[in-house]
Amino acid sequence: MYVAFLDHPRPIAFAHRGGAIRGPENTWPAFAHAVKLGYAYLETDARATSDGKLMAFHDRNLERLTGAEGPINLKRYREVAALRVAGAEPIPLIEDLLGAWPDVRFNIDLKDEAGIPLLPEVLRRTGAWDRVCVTSFSGARLRIARKLLDRPVCMATSPAAVAAVRCSIGPAWTRGRPQPGPPTQLLARRLSRAEARCAQVPGRVATEPFIRRAHALGLDVHVWTINDRAGMTRFLDLGADGIMTDDVEALREVLIERRQWYPRTGA
């Protein structure tokens, strides 16, 4: 099924947290560097403040990145806005990131329940429905988000769905192409109803059989978080549809060498 978010040549290069090796994670310099290199896809995390602002921030607590104490969702926006990642960079609003680069697509990992009802409002204000993929380590969060979103949005599979793909019977082959048999047809219908279009998995999960089964189910496979050139090459050779990396320069170089670098429009 056609999904605007995935309407891009494969493989897709994702700048994980903006490219955390080249700049403080989930900060404007990291995102801007990846965009300047030509990245069409940025990956980020979403957490809510106590007064309903959706921020690009990974951790539940503020200590590791800002030195402040306590969970971000117990702070008001004005308090969070005054903090600095690595002592220098403000924490961006998801809405501001979506507005900064209208031609860039965002993979958004919902990290807490409080942020779920905020995302539809952000997408309405920015008109970014076709430019986001919603993902989470929580199947419950994904189900709630899907119910609240009043337009179709690309969704990643839940952890339970990933497990189902891993355990599914391998596809039959017709004319050199994988074709789902009866057991996988049921799983494919369930994934379609959940609007799941991609499986985003760690490298240990992205085996050749998993990728083959996911493709038979109509899913793209995006592998995270791969920061070494050998790993990037291995997963690309296995047929991965996308790679998420902190080292945006290394992945770009690997893809250029393979003639598989597809930069954003205008880059």
Residue 255, exposed/middle/buried by CB under 10 A (0-12, 13-18, 19+)?
A: buried
Q: What is d(CA 197, CA 205) in angstroms, rounded to the nearest whole number?
A: 17
Q: What is d(CA 64, CA 79) in angstroms, rounded to the nearest whole number?
A: 17
The one-letter amino acid at 95: E
Q: What is d(CA 190, CA 133) in angstroms, rounded to the nearest whole number?
A: 18
Residue 265, exposed/middle/buried by CB under 10 A (0-12, 13-18, 19+)?
A: exposed
Active site residues: 16, 58
Alpha helices in the chain (DSSP H): 28-37, 63-66, 77-81, 94-100, 118-126, 139-148, 159-167, 182-193, 208-216, 229-238, 248-257
